[in-house]
Amino acid sequence: MPPFGDPGARLVIVGLAPGMHGANATGRPFTGDYAGILLYETLHTYGYASSPHSRTRQDLLTLTDCRITNAVKCLPPDNKPTPAEVKTCNDYLTHDLSKMPDRGAILALGRIAHDASLRALGLARGHHAFAHGAVHALARGVALFDSFHCSRYNTNTRRLTPAMFRAVFDAIGAHLGRPR
């Protein structure tokens, strides 16, 4: 699954993998699945998306200063990628993150995306532990922001609330000089 959005974006969002009934079926990350609801509503609120909804690849949704990619490019069994799949796909993520401009921001949605991003950047996990709301300063002024994944499970159990997600985007906006 190719990345979606602005090729020169200062914000790159790294998800887990294409969802069976969402991105795998539609061809666009977080489109047509539950996780996309909170993500695209938030992106629209913060001025990154032209619409709060992403239903099909053919809709007119565009992203500005934002690109969405995944740690794993194909649909994993049981919706959970194996370490081997993450490792196999990491070259794609390495290539995508290599386009990151100075002082950019990476948003990792979940621990797997966080770890895959660090690996793609050639950084050790031990120096950058995943925690919701954590911000990790990287080279060239780039910052890695962590959030729990916006999955149905996490939002239904209130592990991730819309307010918690907006707080991460507030921090990203402050880093990028893009207040809401």
Give the SS3 label for residue 147.
strand
What are 162's two structure tokens?
Answer: 């819309």
Amino acid at 150: C
66: Cβ contacts below 8 Å, ≥ 6 apart: 5, 6, 9, 11, 12, 13, 43, 48, 49
**pLDDT reported for residue 24:** 60
- Whole-angstrom CA distances from 2 to 10, 18, 23, 26, 67 are 18, 10, 10, 12, 10
Q: Is the pLDDT of residue 180 over 80?
A: no
Q: Find out if CATH 3.30.230.80 is the number for domain 4-176.
A: no
| For the chain, domain boundaries | 4-176
| pLDDT tens figures, 73-108 | 777 777 778 888 888 889 999 999 998 999 999 999
* pLDDT mean over 10-14: 98
